[in-house]
Amino acid sequence: MRNKYVMANFKMNKSDSEVEEYLKTFLPLVEGNETKIILSIPFTSLKTAIEKTKKSNVMIAAQNMNENEKGAYTGEVSADMLSGLGVDAVIVGHSERRSNFNETDELVNKKILRGLKSGLICIFCVGETMYERKNQMTEQVLVRQITEGLKSVYANELKNIIIAYEPVWAIGTGVTPMDVEIVETVKVIRNILTSMYDEKIAKDVIITYGGSINEVNCKEIGKFEGLDGALIGGASLMPEKFAKIVSAFKPKACRKKKD
Ligand code: PEP
């Protein structure tokens, strides 16, 4: 049975002391929770967050990294620097990086390969724009993003990949897809993985959804069949709200009833 993952993306929000304050409130709220929790926070607070979450059930992720091992890349941060610090995971291919920083599928793939090599869990974001959905291009886009993004990734490395299906039009907009759209798209993603690897391997890959999840709609989304969790931006910035979202993705919520 696949684990449930609920992941925060703070984006460019919160100073180091604000992250510390956040954790003071958040950690007691999720203590003992079986759901895997990952907080993706700014580089400047990674060290603080790692120290403060050491004895907790919360993992820490970076929001980006450079694809090269090391060298003359002023201002960049490498995968080894992150894993050396104790970071557990990294977000790769977020739509804000694809659109604002021109990150291509090829670059995303390089980052994934580098992240895996350094022992990081890669939170691999994929998703279509509204134009692409309206023009029935969703599957085509996902096939491209996933086959390119996971190029040269071995089956045994998929345990360190979390796919975050994030339709671009749902991120930060307050609009979420219909339940059937999420469930069907997760199936499409699993089929793509099946054709790249095989059914048994694809069955074990963690596939989550992200885009305008909040403390209200999480109750429904948390029960969607086949969905292994969520990536949350805006609503993760408030510890009480995010803790509520975490509790909506209990492992047992998706267990299929036996006849
Ligand atoms: C995100 O940025 O990954 C995200 C899901 O944002 P929001 O929850 O704010 O839509």
Ligand 1 atom with minimal separation from the 232 CA: 8
Pocket of ligand 1 (CB under 6 A): 9, 166, 171-172, 210-213, 231-235
96 is catalytic: no
Range of the domain at 72: 5-254
**How far apart, in whole angstroms, are the C-alpha atoms of residue 13 and residue 4?**
25
Q: How many CB atoms lie within 10 A of CB 252?
A: 7
pTM over 0.85: yes
Pairing of strands 161-165, 121-126: parallel
Concerning whether 166 is annotated as a catalytic residue, the answer is yes
Residue 259 in any domain: the answer is: no
What is the number of the ligand 1 atom nearest to the C-alpha of 210? 5
Instruction: Kindly write down the DSSP assignment for every residue of 23-38, as one continuous string.
Output: HHHHHHHHTT--SEEE
- 181: in domain: yes
Per-residue pLDDT of the chain (259 residues; tens, 9 = 90+): 899 999 999 999 999 999 999 999 999 999 999 999 999 999 999 999 999 999 999 999 999 999 999 999 999 999 999 999 999 999 999 999 999 999 999 999 999 999 999 999 999 999 999 999 999 999 999 999 999 999 999 999 999 999 999 999 999 999 998 999 999 999 999 999 999 999 999 999 999 999 999 999 999 999 999 999 999 999 999 999 999 999 999 886 444 444 3
d(CA 166, CA 208): 9
Cα(126) to centroid of ligand 1, in Å? 12
The domain total for the chain is 1
CATH number at residue 182: 3.20.20.70
Q: What is the pLDDT of residue 251?
A: 82
pLDDT at 45: 98
Integer Cα distance of 57 and 163 in angstroms: 21
List CB contacts of 119: < 8 A, sequence separation 6 or more. 83, 160
Q: Is residue 60 part of a domain?
A: yes
Residue nearest to atom 6 of ligand 1 (CA): 233
The predicted structure's pLDDT at residue 252:
61
What's residue 23's pLDDT?
Answer: 98
User: Is residue 188 a part of any domain in this protein?
Assistant: yes
| pLDDT for the residue 228 | 97
